[in-house]
């Protein structure tokens, strides 16, 4: 693989703010020297892997290697990841087509469905980004049905499900999903989904006292990352009701 396309590595740097070290680096000598290859397109660094798949000229070579060595399961995963990344940056038709191909390929494999919840969650997000909410709801419902509620994927799926329900006008259903996402995030100790759920609930509940207090409690557990979008949004909600923020 290294001889064919060179190796890529992603450097995050400081996790919650932009920094000049963050980006993609490439080596052509097995790791002896690394050269800066591409700047990360997200201030939080969260799109680095997607950039490696979608913006690098290595993409086609990677897929060739997968085919050459008969790794259809990884080709399916790669296609869905690529499709999700392309959809997220606005290349809707191309991204949706790639994701559909990956899903179809995976469904045709005789393999344990270990990656199926992940693939469904990626596909649901891609459909939501492509502004296909009815299809996205069906896929996210299927994804939720394949996992226990205490699964690590559940908080994000619950939030996406709530967002889609809210977009369709189902306020009650959306709040139920946001509350379950909040509870599971708390139980699993994943604070960012918990914060996002608390922010959504506070807005839905017209900033009532209990919802604001819940949001404030989660917000105050953070000690860094205050310029990240989720924390900025939570802070803005708290500011609307003049909640003092340390």
DSSP secondary structure, 189-229, as one string:
T-HHHHHHHHHHHHHHTTT-HHHHHHHHHHHTT--S-TTSH
| 112 SS3 class | coil
Cβ-proximal residues to 173 (8 Å cutoff; 6+ apart), any chain:
162, 165
Residue tagged 């999700």 (tokens) = 84
| 10 SS3 class | strand
Read off the pLDDT band of 5 (50, 70, 90): very low
- The whole-number pLDDT of residue 48 equals 42
Are 204 and 171 in contact, with CB atoms under 8 Å apart?
yes
How far apart, in whole angstroms, are the C-alpha atoms of residue 88 and residue 85?
A: 5
How far apart, in whole angstroms, are the C-alpha atoms of residue 153 and residue 240?
A: 31
- The whole-number pLDDT of residue 224 equals 83
- How close are the terminal C-alpha atoms of the chain, in Å? 50
- The whole-number pLDDT of residue 65 equals 63
- For residues 88 and 98, the model is more confident at 98
Directed axis angle between helix 59-68 and helix 72-88, to 10°?
160
How far apart, in whole angstroms, are the C-alpha atoms of residue 227 and residue 244?
A: 17
Lowest mean pLDDT among 19-23, 118-122, 241-245: 19-23
Q: 3: which DSSP letter?
A: H
Per DSSP, helices labelled H in 26-170 are 48-54, 59-68, 72-88, 92-107, 116-129, 133-145, 154-167
pLDDT over 90, % of the chain: 41
- pLDDT at residue 110 is higher than 60: yes
Q: 178: which DSSP letter?
A: H
- The alpha carbon of residue 85 and the mean position of all alpha carbons in its chain are separated, in whole angstroms, by 10
Read off the pLDDT band of 54 (50, 70, 90): very low
pTM, two decimals, is 0.71
| 90 SS3 class | coil
């Amino acid at each position: 693989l290294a001889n064919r396309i060179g190796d890529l590595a992603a450097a995050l740097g400081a996790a919650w703010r932009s920094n000049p070290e963050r980006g993609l680096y490439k080596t052509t000598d097995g790791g002896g020297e690394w050269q800066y290859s591409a700047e990360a397109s997200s201030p939080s660094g969260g799109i680095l892997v997607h950039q490696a798949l979608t913006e690098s000229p290595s993409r086609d070579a990677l897929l060739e290697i997968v085919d050459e060595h008969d790794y259809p399961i990884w080709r399916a995963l790669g296609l869905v990841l690529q499709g999700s990344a392309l959809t997220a940056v606005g290349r809707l038709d191309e991204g949706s087509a790639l994701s559909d191909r990956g899903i179809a390929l995976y469904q045709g494999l005789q393999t344990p469905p270990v990656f199926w919840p992940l693939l469904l969650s990626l596909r649901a997000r891609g459909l939501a980004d492509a502004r296909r909410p009815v299809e996205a709801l069906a896929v996210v419902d299927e994804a939720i049905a394949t996992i226990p509620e205490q699964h690590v994927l559940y908080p994000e799926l619950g939030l996406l499900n709530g967002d889609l329900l809210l977009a369709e006008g189902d306020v009650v259903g959306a709040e139920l999903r946001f509350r379950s996402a909040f509870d599971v995030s708390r139980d699993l100790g994943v604070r960012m989904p918990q914060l996002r759920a608390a922010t959504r609930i506070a807005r839905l509940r017209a900033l009532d006292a209990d919802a604001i207090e819940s949001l404030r409690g989660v917000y105050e557990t953070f000690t860094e990352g205050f310029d990240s979008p989720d924390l900025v949004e939570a802070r803005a909600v708290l500011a609307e009701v003049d909640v003092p923020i340390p």
